[in-house]
Amino acid sequence: PYFEELRGFRDLEIKIKQTFDLERVIITPGDSDTDPWVKDELGKRAVSFLQSQLNNKQTVAVTGGTSMAAVAKMMAPTDLGKGSMFVPARGGLGERVENQANTICAEMANKMKGDYRLLYVPDPLSEETYHSIIEEPGVKETLHIIKQANIVMHGIGDAFTMAKRRKAEKNVLEKLESGKAVSEAFGYYFDQNGRIVHKVRTVGMQLEDLSHIKTVVAIAGGHSKAKAIQSYFRQGKSNVLITDEGAATALIKDL
Ligand code: G3H
């Protein structure tokens, strides 16, 4: 039965890979909505994938969120990251400190004996502050490194779950509602067709930068994220999806 399960996942992986035109899909058993430990398993699979990619001196950019925090948590100390650089992909986005990209990035670098640079910027930024802050030498240096990322790892969330968790202002919530936002990733909110509804103004990676990056890995599980995952991949800027059985089954059902 164990092998049957693995085989079953292989078929599911291939189906999702073809549907969303991805290079790699990895599915872990269970549903992280109902069993929180599944998120840790998701993290473990993401760690193995990352380690398989770290054969050279790489620059790894990471986002925040609980899925990415699970990736950092599940990392066992190793020196595979020696010579690699870890950076947050974008600013803090209003998350609690344990779920911020800075925290996750530092934890990963420490566990893998890599180096890291952080971004200390408030967000959302006003237009004016944005333009002056990107000229600050410390910020500029980190931004320069972010632009050189070879690997990006990020979460995908349900738009309204994320907006509420980040305590978005009323006008932002209204914008998300009228634009029928479905998903969120990198502080960008997308509708069901993958069109951008809203973008949190912060420094760091912009969506268009992803097109130049070889490996962009999305880590998102739980059946409640199926619509969000589908919406995010409509504009297809990531090429690897690490998910769980719950989300994967719901994704296929929706097709
Ligand atoms: O950036 C956050 C992600 O979009 C989703 O967060 O992993 O906590 O669900 P999560």
- What is the ipTM score, two decimals? 0.96
Distance from Cα 129 to the centre of ligand 1, integer Å: 26
Q: What is the pLDDT of residues 104-131, one digit of tens each?
A: 999 999 999 999 999 988 878 889 999 9
Residue 218's DSSP bridge partners are 154, 241
Query: Which residues, at least 6 apart from 25, have a Cβ–Cβ distance to it below 8 Å?
Result: 13, 14, 16, 17, 240, 241, 242, 243, 248
pTM for this model (two decimals): 0.95
For the CA of 68, the closest atom of ligand 1 is 7
Instruction: Give the pLDDT confidence score for residue 122 in this predicted structure.
Output: 81
Distance from Cα 60 to the centre of ligand 1, integer Å: 18
92 pLDDT band, cuts 50/70/90, is confident
Comparing 55 with 37, the larger pLDDT belongs to 37
On the question of pLDDT at 4 being above 80, the answer is: no
The closest residue, in CA terms, to atom 2 on ligand 1 is: 65
Q: Is 123 left (phi over 0), alpha (psi -120 to 50) or beta?
A: beta
The closest residue, in CA terms, to atom 7 on ligand 1 is: 67
Q: Is-contact 46 153, C-beta < 8 A?
A: yes
Instruction: Give the pLDDT confidence score for residue 55 in this predicted structure.
Output: 80
Instruction: Give the pLDDT confidence score for residue 245 in this predicted structure.
Output: 96
The closest residue, in CA terms, to atom 9 on ligand 1 is: 157
Q: What is the pLDDT of residues 197-241, one digit of tens each?
A: 999 988 999 999 999 999 999 999 999 999 999 999 998 789 999
- Which pair of structure tokens corresponds to residue 201? 């103004």
Instruction: Give the pLDDT confidence score for residue 125 in this predicted structure.
Output: 86
For the CA of 93, the closest atom of ligand 1 is 1
The closest residue, in CA terms, to atom 6 on ligand 1 is: 65
